[in-house]
Amino acid sequence: MGNPGYKYFKGEDWIDPTPPPSDLPAVDEVGSTGAPLKSASFFIGSVCQEYNEDFMLCKDESRDPKHCLREGRKVTRCAMDALQKIQSKCQREFQMHWQCLDIKNQEFGRCREPEKAYNECLFSAFGWKKAVPGAPENRPQIHERIPLTD
């Protein structure tokens, strides 16, 4: 018996055969899993803020996915560039942090020690400082407080 309601679903990956428009520059996928992306997310968010905001404003203008392909590619290129910079100067600290996230259910609070070394490395290499959006300015950031216990 098949899946009720899914009589047209073949159960295999579907790849759109339509090529992207020729006027769009090609861009690779980021090619990273969840833990490394989560580890780098605050830095990607701040470094790529301008591109992210342009993309979100574009998405607000139209529900057509093709409308914002150019802006989406800029976001992807910026994220890839940020990840390459992180890998070039802070590879060990980055790896320690994302592996901790991977092991500890992706909870930042359980990985504060490797996060501290990672944040210090990124600050000394690039001047990047982790800031949680919407956090009160007159209080320490959550990652600068006492870590959770395991």
The answer to the question of residue 29 being in a domain is no
The answer to the question of residue 14 being in a domain is no
The answer to the question of residue 45 being in a domain is yes
Fill in the DSSP letter of residue 123: H
H or E element, residue 85? helix 69-103
Q: Distance between CA 144 and CA 116 in Å, rounded? A: 8
Mean per-residue pLDDT, 76-81 = 95
What angle do the packed helices 69-103 and 49-61 form, to 10 degrees?
A: 120
Mean per-residue pLDDT, 4-20 = 66
CA distances from 94 to 71, 99, 118 (A): 27, 8, 6
Q: Distance between CA 128 and CA 32 in Å, rounded? A: 21
The answer to the question of residue 80 being in a domain is yes
pLDDT band for 76, please (50, 70, 90 cuts).
very high
pLDDT band for 58, please (50, 70, 90 cuts).
very high
Number of domains making up the chain: 1
The answer to the question of residue 86 being in a domain is yes
pLDDT band for 1, please (50, 70, 90 cuts).
very low
The answer to the question of residue 105 being in a domain is yes
Fill in the DSSP letter of residue 63: S
pLDDT at 100: 97
| Span 25-43, pLDDT tens digits | 777 888 888 999 999 999 9
The answer to the question of residue 65 being in a domain is yes
The answer to the question of residue 59 being in a domain is yes
Residue 75 pLDDT exceeds 50:
yes
Residue 101 pLDDT exceeds 50:
yes
Domain that holds residue 66: 34-130+138-144
User: For residue 99, which amino acid is it?
Assistant: Q
What tokens does 125 get?
């290499």
* Average pLDDT in the chain: 86
Full-model pTM: 0.76
Q: Distance between CA 126 and CA 86 in Å, rounded? A: 9
